[in-house]
Amino acid sequence: MSIKLGASTPILRMFDIQKAREFYVDYLGYKVDWEHRFGPKFPLYMQVSRDGSRLHLSEHHGDGSPGQHLRIEVAGIEQFHAELKSKEYGYMNPGLETQEWGERSVTVIDPFGNHLTYFETIEKEK
């Protein structure tokens, strides 16, 4: 049997459920897959996903530190950027950057200080 690693699922800290939903669901287009609490007044832990991207968002102290930076590969970065621009989200207006190492990227910052860089590898000009 050979070893095969699967996709990563980062855990990002959140402090406000309404702001998390506004950012991840309304703005970025993820859907809530499930939510979990150990009791009615306990912190929320939930999974959001969009296509092959899956994230866990947690109110639990110790589940991720604010200010994480993660990279998410995208097919169609220009369309993704246009989609974000069309939503006129009041707290974010990301640019579309071309990196010298052969990527185009869009970086957004969630309400909790986490940075998400969506990127697509492009053919470098010679």
The DSSP result for 93-105, as a single string, is ----EEETTTEEE
Confidence at residue 3, expressed as pLDDT on a 0 to 100 scale: 92
3-state secondary structure of 23: helix
At 94, the pLDDT band (50, 70, 90 cuts) reads very high
* 21 contacts 44 by C-beta, under 8 angstroms: no
3-state secondary structure of 24: helix
The predicted model gives 47-71 an average pLDDT of: 93
3-state secondary structure of 52: coil
* 58 contacts 45 by C-beta, under 8 angstroms: yes
Which CATH superfamily groups domain 11-121?
2,3-Dihydroxybiphenyl 1,2-Dioxygenase, domain 1 (3.10.180.10)
pTM over 0.85: yes
Query: pLDDT tens for residues 6-34?
Result: 889 999 999 999 999 999 999 999 999 99
What amino acid is encoded at 109 in this protein? Answer: I
> Which residue shows structure tokens 């809530």?
32
Domain boundaries, the chain: 11-121
Angle at alpha carbon of residue 111, lines to 106 and 113, rounded to 5°: 75
Instruction: Report the C-alpha gap between 78 and 68 in whole angstroms.
Output: 24
pLDDT over threshold 60, residue 42: yes
Record the tokens describing residue 123, joined without a space: 């053919």
* 114 contacts 13 by C-beta, under 8 angstroms: yes
